[in-house]
Chains A and B, each alone.
Chain A
Amino acid sequence: MNCKIGFYIVKEYLSWWSEVQMGPPDPILGVTEAFKRDTNPKKINLGVGAYRDDQGKPYVLNCVRKAEAQIATKKLDKEYLTIGGLAEFNKACAQLALGPDNEVLKSGRSITVQTISGTGSLRVGANFLSRFHTVAKDVYLPKPSWGNHTPIFRDAGMQLKAYSYYDPKTCGFDFKGALDDILKIPEKSVIMLHACAHNPTGVDPRPEQWKEISALVKKRNLLVFFDMAYQGFASGDIDRDAWAVRYFIEQGHNVVLSQSFAKNMGLYGERVGGFTVVCKDAEEAKRVESQLKILIRPIYSNPPMNGARIASTILNTPELYKEWLVEVKDMATRIIRMREELVGNLKKEGSTLNWQHVTDQIGMFCFTGLKPDQVERLTKEFSVYMTKDGRISMAGVTSGNVGYLAHGIHTVTK
């Protein structure tokens, strides 16, 4: 009887999950959680890349509100989208990236599927390459790259390698290092390029550098995977920000491309993105499309409507599109101005260090050059929250806090 009770107790206690390890907190999103817990009224969140207005508040674009109002009047149903998503969104998404007169679009030799924002796009792309680009298992990321790139490709079954990109000595682009490394990449490997506003460094190649990279990548016969999460958000001009993507395609690279509308339309939580494959011809595009659907179905069946509908309405309604271009430019302009103010304030603080990279870099992020121990001090002593690599989200900087921020940075770096 005792044995039976003992056994019963053991049986009852044993859980399936006793051996599950605690996963490490996400480094980027973990910053925001820590920020939320801080009670210092002067605290600044320079962690995750979500745009804030000059009052430090989330910003819902006017064109988004108008699009939503328009959509509400249409009394649409809620039927499932097809696996590939909203057709008018997909078309407009590709046009935005490639330009409406692009030969690729005219010939129908590309396929765009709607995805769960940029992450979902990268994952679908990674899964697709893992399954069909069997000649090479390696993806070459710039050093450094967005933290989530690595686990995405890894979970999709690919191996991660890197090419030089950021030069910590100049806080700028290590052009020579990049070319040297790219030259050594085995043929047919996948190379990841950030189309604009490199995350986390904010360092982008100049056009003439892009041209050389394109030629070298062509010579090495590499498959180009563009990640474009900030079109319009970097320079304020959507054509300018897509220049590299368009140039590569025009040079004959049949690229794969991830796009996100999280930042440039402020649709973060609606999860709006696209994945595009530029193919040899329309027939190949059809085959590729069929396989993308097979990939997507066992993940989430079909994508969410709301955000895609908003984005599609904006992109396809001339007045809203015009308004959107202005709002994107305003967001980018505010960021650029904050960069200038930060540098100005650092000089006022008496910093003798070279802060030019802050204004040379572009987009939401700035690689300050701060070391981990300096970052830790900045967080502990000033309640300024950022990732350990020294990256700050410029979107979190306002005219109200830029002085305090400069003071903090100067204090920990002098």
Chain B
Amino acid sequence: CSFPSPPRPAHFSAFSGCFADVMSTFTEVPQAAPVAVFKLTADFREDSHPKKVNLGVGAYRTDDCQPWVLPVVKKVERMICEDQSLNHEYLPILGLPEFRSSASKIALGDDSPAIKEQRVKRVQSLGGTGALKIGAEFLRRWYNGTNNTATPVYVSAPTWENHNGVFSDAGFKDIRPYRYWDAARRGLDLTGFLEDMEKAPEHSIFVLHACAHNPTGTDPSQEEWKKIADVMKRKKLFVFFDSAYQGFASGSLEKDAWAIRFFVSEGLELFCAQSFSKNFGLYNERVGNLTVVAKDGDNLNRVLSQMEKIVRTIWSNPPSQGARIVAKTLTSPELFAEWQGNVKTMADRVLLMRSELKSKLLAMTTPGTWEHITQQIGMFSFTGLNPKQVEYMIKEKHIYLMASGRINMCGLTTKNIDYVAESIHEAVSKVQ
């Protein structure tokens, strides 16, 4: 049969016009507020002030304030591009096998007893967010009974704002804070943290930041982690690690994974959501991994079969490019070493900016204590600036940071650090 020519615009009679109105199912859809961190960047982009600085969204920047594609990533991408044997076929639902296994080795350690005992499985996910999502969906369906939306989920106060979103979207009705940041001391409120765990109902889920806590940059010490693990075990709480900065925090993969590995060595079952956005600089390729550690391997096949079902109705199977890059890098000794070097480069620059910022503030005798700038770790620092001071920074100084006082250390460079330090000094002195 022959197809008619493309339709000409119809006459919109009063009826058609009315029909269109009646049909509009979305008349009542309210305008949603934009996600704060992205709005901040949008505002920054529109600002034409020559000295503007973006200390908002968490992405690494070089000392020229440029995004940085890791040299090892460039190299591996070229290799992938030139490999004519590769195609764009679907990955398995759970992802690229060599990615999944090498990724969880990064978190758990090559010689992890859990891996040796075959108590570990993994799901490749769309970034760290995707890994949290799969974990959350699984827990809501199969943890603490079936479809138990009442299981309390504890997230740190404060935490990455999307933690709340992920768990509530997965159906959990009771998301609570656990004390974490001590604003007065500008450090970890360990007492409050431990107390909240003691008081938590059994089987509550706890979202723990493996290292480089977002947004505070404040991590428990090893001794403090031991205390935390002890309560988790005793109170039968579920451990869900969020590991988005491994390697990025201290520069050492092992050091940054210490907490995860310790918990595993204590025999705890846990989930660990890994992101390779920051430590591989692969932000937009959405490379993540949900590592599942169980007490025995038998249960794991069933767990994974259920995770497969969850994945199938969200994204069917994950994107291949980012996973290929990471897998290739992690499974080649030379590339792996090169990657470790790239990661250390990033971590070292952040550490340098921390020490510079602190010394400049001290030199100006800026009111307040500033030890936390170098005690905190990773991409972010909770400066302690209050909302009014933050507003001053944005409006008067064109320095963009989150209302919480969180700054991205990567936004600091040797060229802008003086301006930022002076501005902080001004804000703290002038605005109460």
Hey, which bits of chain A sit against chain B, CB under 8 A?
Answer: 12-26, 29, 48, 50, 58-60, 64, 68-69, 72, 75, 77-83, 99, 103, 116-120, 123, 132-133, 135, 148, 151-152, 154-155, 188, 206-207, 218, 221, 223, 239-240, 243, 246-247, 250-254, 262, 266-271, 277, 279-280, 284, 286-288, 290-291, 293-294, 297-307
Contacts and interface: CB of A to CB of B under 8 A. Distances in A.
Given A72-B77, A218-B19, A269-B317, A77 B69 contact: yes
B414 interface: no
Contacts of A29: 92-93
Interface in B30-82: 30-35, 38, 57, 59, 66-69, 73, 77-78, 81
A385 to B, nearest CB: 16
Given A20-B299, A291-B29, A298-B169, A268 B88 contact: yes
A304 to B, nearest CB: 4
Q: Which of A22, A133, A188 has the most CB atoms of chain B within a 10 A radius of its CB? A: A22
A298 B313 contact: no
Contacts of A303: 126, 286
B286 A299 contact: no
Interface string B193-216: 000000000000000000000000
Nearest to B77: A72
Given A155-B313, A266-B88, A20 B3 contact: no
Given A119-B313, A221-B22, A23 B302 contact: yes
Given A17-B142, A117-B315, A152-B313, A254 B24 contact: yes
A161 B33 CA distance: 34
Given A78-B282, A279-B26, A15 B321 contact: no
A269 B142 contact: no
Contacts of A223: 23, 25
Q: Which of B22, B29, B59, B299 has the most CB atoms of chain A within a 10 A radius of its CB? A: B29
Given A290-B33, A301-B129, A302-B286, 7 more contacts: A23-B302, A23-B306, A288-B29, A300-B126, A300-B286, A301-B162, A304-B285
Interface in B60-116: 66-69, 73, 77-78, 81, 87-93
Nearest to B285: A304
A328 B139 CA distance: 43
B309 A23 contact: yes
B88 A288 contact: no
A72 B78 contact: yes
A396 B130 CA distance: 32
Determine the interface band of chain B, counting residues with CB < 8 A from chain A. 35 or more
Q: Which of A22, A116, A253 has the most CB atoms of chain B within a 10 A radius of its CB? A: A116
B35 A83 contact: yes
Given A207-B4, A254-B20, A306-B322, A290 B32 contact: yes
B173 interface: no
A279 B26 CA distance: 7
Contacts of B431: none
Contacts of B296: 15
Contacts of A253: 23
B26 A148 contact: no
B333 interface: no
B89 A268 contact: yes
Interface of B: 1, 3-4, 6-7, 9-10, 12, 16, 19-35, 38, 57, 59, 66-69, 73, 77-78, 81, 87-93, 125-127, 129-130, 133, 142-144, 146, 162, 165-166, 168-169, 238, 267, 269, 277, 281-286, 294-296, 299-303, 305-306, 308-310, 312-322
A80 B133 CA distance: 18
Nearest to A187: B22
Nearest to B203: A16
A308 B265 CA distance: 42
A22 B144 CA distance: 17
A7 B12 CA distance: 77
Sorted from nearest, which 4 A-B pairs have the closest CB atoms? Answer: A300-B126, A298-B165, A23-B305, A17-B299
Contact of A78 (B21, B165, B285, B299): B285
Nearest to A154: B313
Contacts of A266: 87-88
Contacts of B31: 286-287, 290
Given A284-B29, A291-B29, A298-B129, A207 B67 contact: no
B88 A78 contact: no
A22 B143 CA distance: 14
Nearest to B119: A15
Given A80-B283, A305-B285, A50 B89 contact: yes
A252 B14 CA distance: 12
B309 A81 contact: no
Given A26-B93, A252-B10, A16 B269 contact: yes
Nearest to A133: B25
Contact of A269 (B30, B66, B89, B305): B89
Contact of A68 (B23, B67, B81): B81
A7 to B, nearest CB: 13
Contacts of A135: 25
A281 B199 CA distance: 52
B284 A299 contact: no
